[in-house]
Amino acid sequence: MSENYRLVLIRWVDSYGCGAVWNELESAKAFLHECVSVGWIVKDSADAVVVVPHLSPQCDDIGAEEQGCGDMTIPICAIRSIEDVSVAEKDAEAPTPTYIPNA
């Protein structure tokens, strides 16, 4: 599943604006909204990258193919950088964290 895709952190810029009120044109400011996305690149083309933060493996018990959720298509022209993310192997000696609901 995830081993078939590249896990990355993408720094990119998005549009900013669309104020709710009328403003004088002289008060307009040029501003880029900086964003960071983390996930697996599932599609990569000359125009855009599709990154998905949530993956689920194929599940034959219910007939579900490999799936993803939360996909974000980022235009190549908006991308400032792409960094590979590595996941450390779990230490066999380290204790397993326990989740306690409503704690």
The separation between CA 67 and the C-alpha centre of its own chain, rounded to angstroms, equals 15
At 74-93, the pLDDT tens digits run 999 999 999 999 887 766 66
Tell me the whole-structure pTM to 2 decimals: 0.73
| Residue extents of the structural domains in the chain | 2-19+31-84
- pLDDT of 53 above 90: yes
Answer with the residue of higher pLDDT: 27 or 53: 53
Confidence of residue 43 (pLDDT cuts 50, 70, 90): very high
Helix, strand, coil shares, percent, the chain, to 5? 10, 45, 50
Extract the tokens encoding 98: 């326990």
Task: Tell me the sheet residues that pair with 51.
Answer: 41, 72
Cβ-contact 74, 14 below 8 angstroms: no
- Tell me which DSSP letter residue 73 carries: E
Instruction: Find all residues with CB under 8 Å of 87, minimum gap 6, and list them.
Output: 7
